[in-house]
């Protein structure tokens, strides 16, 4: 936990597990064989023509706590366009971003993928 905490909040000297639990879970997952399972979800998405757009949409949706209004505003797209993109994600990888358990799996998948393929993203950077 100290290793994770010192990377996320280096200015602190005391870390509470309650605040770092998810980050510690991600850290353990990154060293596990299961990481490939989650990365494969993103790779399947990227195989499609609009894969990068869908990945960016999904990342924004997760970063905005699955709030369609905030996400569409941030992306500068109509809410119906967001709905269409989320439906395309569901169609391509059989995980529905509007269902909590699926969204959780998608969030873990994006996290694992971004750790191996870094790119500027506020919510992912906060997990580094």
Domains and CATH numbers, the chain: 1-31 (no CATH), 33-125 (1.10.10.2840)
Report residue 4's pLDDT band, with 50, 70 and 90 as the boundaries. Answer: low
Mean pLDDT of the 8-34 span: 73
Asked if 25 and 19 count as a contact pair (C-beta separation under 8 A), the reply is no
Whole-number Å distance between alpha carbons of 46 and 102: 18
Does the pLDDT at position 103 exceed 60? yes
* Alpha carbon distances (Å) from 89 to 50, 69, 83: 10, 18, 10
CA atoms within 13 A on the CB side of 73: 7
Q: What is the DSSP string of the chain?
A: -HHHHHHH-TT-S---HHHHHHHHHHHHHHTSTTHHHHHHHHHHHHTSTTHHHHHHHHHHHHHTTT-HHHHHHHHT--HHHHHHHHHHHHHHHS--TTSHHHHHHHHHHHHHHHHHS----HHHHTT-
Check residues 119 and 50 and name the one with the higher pLDDT. 50
Dump pLDDT digits (tens) for 28-71: 777 777 888 899 999 999 998 788 999 999 999 999 999 999 99
């Amino acid at each position: 936990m100290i290793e994770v905490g010192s990377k996320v909040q280096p200015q602190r000297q005391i870390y509470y597990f309650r605040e770092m639990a998810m980050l510690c879970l991600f850290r353990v997952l990154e060293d596990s064989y299961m990481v490939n399972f989650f990365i494969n979800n993103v790779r399947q998405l990227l195989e499609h023509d609009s894969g990068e757009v869908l990945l960016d949409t999904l990342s924004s949706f997760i970063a905005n706590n699955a709030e369609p209004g905030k996400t569409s505003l941030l992306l500068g797209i109509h809410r119906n366009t967001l709905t269409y993109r989320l439906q395309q994600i569901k169609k391509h990888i059989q995980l529905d971003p509007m269902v909590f358990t699926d969204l959780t799996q998608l969030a873990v998948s994006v996290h694992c993928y971004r750790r191996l393929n870094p790119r500027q993203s506020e919510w992912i950077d906060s997990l580094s």
